[in-house]
Structure 1
Amino acid sequence: MFRFLPVLLYCLGINSAKMTNPFFRSDYTYEPSQESFYKIHFETKSWLEARALCEAEGTSLVMPESKPEIEYLVKIMNDNLPENVIAAYIGIHDMFSEGIFVTLTGRDVPIAHNYWAPGEPTNSNNTEHCVHILRSGKYNDIVCSNRYPFICKKTLESLTANPRCATSDLAYFPNYNTSSCYKLHLTPKTWTDAFATCHAEQSYLAIVNSADEAQFFKEQLADHPPASLHGDFFKDGIYLGFHDLFSEGSHVTILGTPLSQTGFAQWSPGQPDNAGQNENCGHMYRSGLLNDINCSSYKLIFFCERDI
């Protein structure tokens, strides 16, 4: 019961900006003065990777809206980043047209604005189309592929609550027969990217623990027949959270449990076969039976799972 308490407290006060401790995610900090949640990512990413990871966490790469917010971002950086790290990415760019800087939501960021560092933006070598914020609180344009820490933001106003699944993500739905909640991702990804997507959502790539759960996935897939899925990708089944990356033929889940001990290990006939000597990731056909598959050659739809 206690794991639901933060979200339930939020639900009771979802319309109150005066809540003393609203909840979004355990890895985000609420700042009352900005009525928003923030997280600084220490692992450096390119600007595009940073934008995508914030989005996967249900947030946005921060787009500063005021001088007080800029001051708060500087505080975040000074409190958390090593002294030799000079900046963090923010959600501003001029990718659409050189010199026209906009936020991820399309708001103009005039070049003449005093938020820019002296002499910036320069578009050095015609390659600087993304923006980071310096420790001085000033903006600087930078090559988008350069790697920096970054800050994600979620406003209180945009917050939703899904207390049944202990998340703000409304796309998760419970299956009380399995004591889990699930989210079906219809945008196909490689196994590695599917794993990362679920991890960003504080969930995990789904694991089958019983014949009933396998049947559940089979029925869910029947509701999304191949003809309903757009794009050219492998549509017979889903990625699952097991692999034999550590030792060929020794299949374990991403939580470390041997597949033979999960409660479901029914392979499709002739599987696993490690075709081409490079099939090391888990897959389930629409038949509900398991298969080993190349981790990066195929893009599949997948489920993320979280316990309830």
Structure 2
Amino acid sequence: MKTIITCFSVLFSVNFIECSFRCDYKYSVVAKGWFKHFVVPATWYDARLRCALEGAVLLSPITQELEDEMSQILKNFFTSESEIFTGIHATFSDGNYFSIEGIPLSDIPLPWAEHEPDNMEDDERCLIFNGNGDLADRMCEETRPYICYRNGSKEVETNECGTVDNEYRLDTRTKSCYKFHTVPRTFARAHFACSAEGGHLVIINSETEAQVLREIFAKYQSGTMPGLFWKNVAFIGFQDWGERGDWRTIHGETLSEAGYAKFSPGEPANATPGEFCGSIYRTALLNDLWCDKPAPFICEKRPDHPAVCHPLADEENTIDLRSNDISKLRLDCTV
């Protein structure tokens, strides 16, 4: 199944263009790419990770077109004093700044803001872009809004799960898509990853779905997962929400309401303090697990969410570029 959704533009000589990426992104004809801005501030590390999990990168002003797009987004959605994180960083070695794509700062000719860079307290290794088009260094652990970007040249066919991520597989028994993550994360980071990928930690709604997960888990034997962590459990989408013993899914239902409440014998045990998050054994029987200890996890997503659009070649579209307002060239994806 391939989801085809068109993206419309209100221009004098353009009627429509099709996109080849998630339709929660906006397509810019001038910048030839897809953009999504986040107003909720995040650390640089979380911003980079979310963009990567969505199939994009944390945006940097590495071309004039991208700089113009960043300036326009700042103008449209933020205040003149706002700062947004860029993908330019020196997290690998002090003072050596590169964009996420590996472009050195010396090849990005942008001015510094007044009194910048100052590397305050010898701890500022991530760069922001402000409403004046200037750069400044900031602590990566501080929080700022940010923009994710996908280059328009990356035209990847979407699969039956409506994503460019081919690790998702559709199961016809449940009509849901699943992905087993072998790189362990804490429960919070697992939830983060599934959400960014357009899904959620899997919620078991039936014995049939439990069987699906047994089969998925069986494909990932312990020897195939490198690293020192417990490989016979995987986080799924339930926890006690801070009320000990009140197990509910991440969508707020009791396990019985969701359709599956079969714990492994002797579980939940809270054998050592902190087992407040949900997991399954390879049997697909439920288990309580430490929230802060990394484990494999399973994501679930609907095939139609988020919507993914397919492109036509840019040269097949006639664009009136005489307007100076590039915001008119940003295309909204609609069903």
TM-score, structure 2 length as denominator? 0.81
Q: Does 1:213 align with 2:212?
A: no
Counterparts of 1:166-177 in structure 2, within 5 Å, are: 166-177=162-173
1:213-260 Cα shifts (integer Å, max 9, x gaps): 222222222221112211111111211111221533332211222211
- In structure 1, which of residues 27, 49, 52 is the aligned counterpart of residue 49 of structure 2? 52
For residues 51 and 58 of structure 1, the distance between their equivalents in structure 2, rounded to whole angstroms, comes to 11
> 1:136 Cα shift?
1.0
For residues 166 and 266 of structure 1, the distance between their equivalents in structure 2, rounded to whole angstroms, comes to 31
Q: 1:304 corresponds to which residue?
A: 299
How many residues in Structure 1 have an aligned counterpart in Structure 2? Answer: 296
> 1:284 Cα shift?
0.5
> 1:232 aligns to what SS in structure 2?
coil
Instruction: Quickly say closer, same or farther: Cα 1:112–1:268, change in 2 above 3 A.
Output: closer
TM-score, structure 1 length as denominator? 0.87
For residues 236 and 178 of structure 1, the distance between their equivalents in structure 2, rounded to whole angstroms, comes to 24
Counterpart code for 1:218 = R
The percentage of counterpart residues that share the same residue type is: 32
Extract unaligned runs of 5+ from structure 2.
Answer: 8-14, 304-335
For residues 21 and 228 of structure 1, the distance between their equivalents in structure 2, rounded to whole angstroms, comes to 40
Q: Does 1:71 align with 2:68?
A: yes
For residues 64 and 28 of structure 1, the distance between their equivalents in structure 2, rounded to whole angstroms, comes to 18
Counterpart code for 2:41 = T
> 2:30 aligns to what SS in structure 1?
helix
Q: 1:292 corresponds to which residue?
A: 288
> 1:50 Cα shift?
1.6
Structure number having the greater helix percentage? 1
1:8-52 Cα shifts (integer Å, max 9, x gaps): x69xxxxxxx97131522431111111111111112122222211
> 2:191 aligns to what SS in structure 1?
helix
CA contact (8 A) 2:62 2:108 kept: no
Extract unaligned runs of 5+ from structure 1.
Answer: 11-17
Q: Does 1:183 align with 2:179?
A: yes
For residues 277 and 92 of structure 1, the distance between their equivalents in structure 2, rounded to whole angstroms, comes to 41
Counterpart code for 2:163 = T
Counterpart code for 2:266 = G
Instruction: Quickly say closer, same or farther: Cα 1:277–1:107, change in 2 above 3 A.
Output: closer
For residues 67 and 301 of structure 1, the distance between their equivalents in structure 2, rounded to whole angstroms, comes to 41
Counterpart code for 1:224 = Y
Runs of 4+ more than 6 Å apart: none
- In structure 2, which of residues 125, 128, 131 is the aligned counterpart of residue 129 of structure 1? 125
For residues 121 and 245 of structure 2, the distance between their equivalents in structure 1, rounded to whole angstroms, comes to 51
**Greater relative CO (CA pairs within 8 A, separation 6+):** 2
